[in-house]
Structure 1
Amino acid sequence: MSRLILFNKPYGVICQFTPEGGHRSLKDFISMPGFYPAGRLDTDSEGLVLLTDDGKLQNKISAPEFKLPKTYWVQVEGIPDEAALNMLRQGVRIRDYRTLPARIDPMVEPFYLGSRTPPIRYRKNIPTSWICMILNEGKNRQIRRMTAAIMFPTLRLIRYAIGPYTIQGISPGEWRVVDELFPIDKIRLNDRNKLAK
């Protein structure tokens, strides 16, 4: 029977079990053998990482044809107006690629987040704000490049959800095993689009 771990990755942890470059690794947090990450999350990002002990499930979670929407909470420098948010919604050009349309909504800072270690860059005269971004794709450092393209640099990036799985109730550095798996291979494209709305 396939098992799935939901891990709330702290800042500075690499998404592998082998330590590298002086960073902490998944091995420092997850003691169950035989689990491997299904996808990655940048070292300087926080939030949900899925791990499984089933290679087929690992491939399904990562495969483009079963691409699940990913929900991110993004703290940016400055306060984007509707015009800037609409640029993100419609897709922006990052290097030689134009991002797909995405759901973008302003949000209030989640009250239970707590501060990050190390703390984010702080500028006395520049306010910060939060955006909820739901993407159906996952290019390397995509969100940071998207917000930079509209001139609102990302200060803090937290992946809240992958499809139906979230970090709700899981503190940074903690994890839990999912008892009932969501049938990823049974989701139709329309269902995946609904999850992103």
Structure 2
Amino acid sequence: MSRLILLNKPYGVLCQFSGEGPTLSDHVPLPGVYPAGRLDKDSEGLLLLTDDGQLQHRISHPRHKAWKTYWVQVEGTPEAAQLEALAAGVVLKDGPTRPARVRAIAEPALWPREPPVRFRKSVPTAWIEIAIHEGRNRQVRRMTAAVGLPTLRLVRMAIGQWRLDGLEPGRFRVLDLPAPSRRRYANRKATKRPR
């Protein structure tokens, strides 16, 4: 069996088990597990950890195209053209992004963030949902900035089939999954057709 840990990573926590400041070791007291992917220090939400290297690779590697869904509070009021641009893919310094799934959403019922997001009476804010299947550094923040909607708060709600579903910040849930067959994985690699 493989262990998969679903953690609601709080704001300000580093995605590593050692170092200065709050780290994963403050929230996941389980030996032998490692993050499958990352979340920035100033992002919140679903982080997957596992003790299975193959599972970690399948979850985090862009080749496997696990969709990652984020709820994003942005500065400003999104216009249809901005949402369409995000969905089509925007050009960043490291190249164009792949198409994304994007829609405006009502303000979700989330836990309060500490420290709270800055509030300015003269500047409206809104929420959008973005799903991507890439894993570039600070990608969602850079995408929203590129269309004129700076990100104020970023919460990852899902990775593939796994969802946050009621986990409070700093809490985790452990799932026991059947270990993937190494033979099946090796056969799939061996029979991959050339392009």
Question: Does TM-score exceed 0.5, indicating one fold?
Answer: yes
- Following superposition, the deviation at residue 180 of structure 1 comes to 4.2
Q: 2:29 maps to what in 1?
A: 31
Q: Which has the larger radius of gyration?
A: 2
Is the alpha carbon distance of 1:50 and 1:42 closer, same or farther for their aligned partners in structure 2, counting shifts above 3 Å? same
- Following superposition, the deviation at residue 182 of structure 1 comes to 10
Cα contact 1:8–1:47 (8 A) shared by 2: yes
Of residues 126, 130, 133, the one that matches 2:130 is 133
Residue 172, structure 1, aligned to residue 144, structure 2: no
| Structure 1: unaligned runs, 5 residues or longer | 187-197
Q: Secondary structure at the match of 1:6?
A: strand
Cα contact 2:62–2:135 (8 A) shared by 1: no
Structure 1 counterpart of 2:78, one-letter code: P
- Following superposition, the deviation at residue 65 of structure 1 comes to 2.3
Structure 1 counterpart of 2:142, one-letter code: R
| Structure 2: unaligned runs, 5 residues or longer | 186-195
Q: Deviations over 1:143-190 (max 9, x none)?
A: 11111111110000000000010111111110010134697x99xxxx
Residue 15, structure 1, aligned to residue 12, structure 2: no
Q: Deviations over 1:107-134 (max 9, x none)?
A: 01112x1221011111111110000001
Residue 161, structure 1, aligned to residue 158, structure 2: yes
Q: Secondary structure at the match of 2:2?
A: coil
- Following superposition, the deviation at residue 62 of structure 1 comes to 1.6
Bigger mean CA offset, 48-57 vs 155-164 = 48-57
Give distance in 1, aligned partners of 2:134 and 2:178. Answer: 22
Q: Deviations over 1:57-98 (max 9, x none)?
A: 111212232120000000000111101100101111111311
Give me the TM-score of the superposition, normalised by structure 2.
Answer: 0.89
Cα contact 1:164–1:182 (8 A) shared by 2: no
Give distance in 1, aligned partners of 2:79 and 2:178. Answer: 39
Q: Give me the CA root mean square deviation.
A: 1.7
Residue 57, structure 1, aligned to residue 55, structure 2: yes
Q: 2:118 maps to what in 1?
A: 121
Give distance in 1, aligned partners of 2:149 and 2:71. Answer: 14
- Following superposition, the deviation at residue 19 of structure 1 comes to 2.3
Is the alpha carbon distance of 1:122 and 1:57 closer, same or farther for their aligned partners in structure 2, counting shifts above 3 Å? same
Q: Percent identity?
A: 57
Count of aligned residue pairs for this structure pair: 182
Q: 2:191 maps to what in 1?
A: none
Cα contact 2:87–2:101 (8 A) shared by 1: yes
